[in-house]
Amino acid sequence: MKSMPTVPLRRNPTRAVRIGTVTIGAGYPIAVQSMCATPTQDVEATAAQCEQLRQAGADVVRVAVDSRRDAQAVAQLRQKTQANLVVDLQENFRLAELVAPHVDKLRYNPGHLHHHQRHKSWQDKVAWLAEVAARWDCALRVGVNCGSVDPELRAKFPPEDSIGPMVQSALEHCEHLDRLGFTRYCVSLKDSDPQKVIEANRRFAAQRPDVPLHLGVTEAGMPPEGVIKTRIALEQLISRGIGDTVRVSLTLPNAQKHEEVLVARQILADIAAGRVRSVVDYGLPGLNIIACPSCSRVENEAFVQLAEQVRQMTQYAKDHKITIAVMGCRVNGPGETDDADLGLWCGPKYVNLKRGPQLLGAYSYDEILDRLKEELDRLIEQRSAEQAPTAQEG
């Protein structure tokens, strides 16, 4: 790393947003977040992980809620942890009313609002969410994700432009919340590509420097690659005054989940001290494996082991510019593997294998590595043939 003179970091003039006992924006210290990987309904294990993360230095801890039973578990969880709790509403925004009395922030994904109550507009749904948040003293996060942008909005942009619809979605939701008079919110714009994270957040911050931003590279994968991807995105954004809270999303076993927090704290300390990488661009010269962070949505813990096995098995292809995505659940899996050359998304008993957006089939955890290797070899052979010089060129 290149060491640079220590200088006070410039910060965008964002508004203050309180999340329980922590305030982000308005010059407050950059907060660190993490997310539980335990099943939310396992209240004892989730409470223990909340405390593990909090004691490691997490200012905010997120849990996933995807059913009424999950929501009921959150009420019990609140009694067992001192962590500032955020609930990820996943695909069912209607659960907000059940969990809001017990948490400090609600995170919703604009691209998931269409899954329920299709007869209602997204504006009406957001108005309801804002009313629930205000009633129960909660902050909101507008969490825009590359793999799940509102399909109607995405259709208005060229297929090759993934950043435009993300930024536009965030801007529209901010404008709507402002009109409603609800300003206790922050925004996140996440992608598995650090360059896209940098660009999306730069574009948004240029138009809305008043809105606090939560930074992170989604599905960053396993250490050390996942740490490097996240570090570069955070360095480039925070050094420009962009960012009020961060998360390092790593694919880790449950017992090591607190390492996300330790890595985030180290990255922030390095940026503050001027210990940053000299590169600005993040270009992968060869094989790129992205994997979502282990969290409570994972339906089979074998997912984490599988991600590591994929990395080991594919070492022979490290010089080929190919992206393989390994996703742990049905929320991230179907959409967020579409842009990868080869994608795996893991269910309770089977792993779905994709080539781009095309589903090739579902295979057992014992079968999937061999099947993945077949497709990887086929892809390498195809690309090598395409790049080979023709007789005329030779």
SS3 of 6-64: the string is: CCCCCCCCCCCEEECCEEECCCCCCEEEEECCCCCCCHHHHHHHHHHHHHHCCCEEEEE
One domain, residues 144 and 102: yes
One domain, residues 56 and 85: yes
Q: What is the pLDDT of residues 261-315, one digit of tens each?
A: 999 999 999 888 777 653 333 345 688 887 776 666 777 778 888 988 999 999 9
**Three-class secondary structure of residue 74 per DSSP:** helix
Q: Which domain covers residue 295, as residue numbers?
A: 288-387
Boundary-marking domain end, from 276, 310, 327: 276
The Cα–Cα gap between 186 and 188 comes to: 7
One domain, residues 166 and 267: yes
Count of domains in the chain?
2
One domain, residues 21 and 163: yes
Say which CATH number the domain at 309 has. 3.30.413.10
One domain, residues 159 and 260: yes
Series of mean pLDDT values for 10-residue runs along the chain (394 residues): 48 96 96 95 97 97 95 97 94 94 97 88 97 98 90 90 96 98 98 93 97 93 89 91 96 92 94 62 65 71 86 92 84 71 90 92 94 95 80 49
One domain, residues 183 and 320: no
Evaluate whether residue 144 is within a structural domain.
yes
One domain, residues 229 and 317: no
Evaluate whether residue 59 is within a structural domain.
yes
Q: What is the pLDDT of residues 212-267, one digit of tens each?
A: 999 999 888 888 889 989 998 999 899 889 999 999 999 899 899 999 999 999 99
How far, CA to CA in Å, does 108 sit from each of 22, 277, 333?
20, 33, 18
Evaluate whether residue 381 is within a structural domain.
yes
One domain, residues 211 and 258: yes
One domain, residues 113 and 244: yes
One domain, residues 264 and 361: no
How far, CA to CA in Å, does 122 sit from each of 88, 190, 280?
18, 20, 37
Say which CATH number the domain at 244 has. 3.20.20.20
One domain, residues 370 and 312: yes
